[in-house]
Amino acid sequence: MSKLSTVLHKKDDANELLIALKAEKEELEAALNREQVQTMHLKEEIAEAEARNAELTKHAYCCTSSGTAWGVDGGDASPATSSGVATGDELPA
């Protein structure tokens, strides 16, 4: 094999490698983009869950301090004890 053919062969190998690396880069960028979108959605879900948790916690403290536990009317939906006061064991996990 002559020097010229060796150089040309190496150049072809380098071009093939470059093409493969560019394709892999595009795949990785697409995967990263999908992960970033998923991360954004999960952060939104966490924020919504935290807001809901804060709302429920506020409601629980409000109701337990007034002696009615969860339900305002003290009906069957209320997890209060027979004394009408929640002990804390009734709170949902």
Q: Could you read off the pLDDT of 1-28 as tens digits, one per residue?
A: 687 778 778 888 999 999 999 999 999 9
pLDDT of residue 66: 66
Q: What is the dihedral of CA 58, 61, 65, 66, to 10 degrees?
A: 50
Question: Among residues of the chain, what percentage have pLDDT more than 90?
Answer: 49
Tokens linked to 49: 């869950």
CA distance 85 to 60: 11
pTM of model > 0.95: no
CA atoms 52, 56, 62, 68: torsion sign: positive
Tell me what the mean pLDDT of segment 56-68 comes to: 80
Cα(93)–Cα(87) distance, integer angstroms? 14
Residue 32 near residue 24, CB atoms below 8 Å: no
The answer, yes or no, to whether residue 35 has pLDDT greater than 90, is yes
68 or 42, greater pLDDT? 42
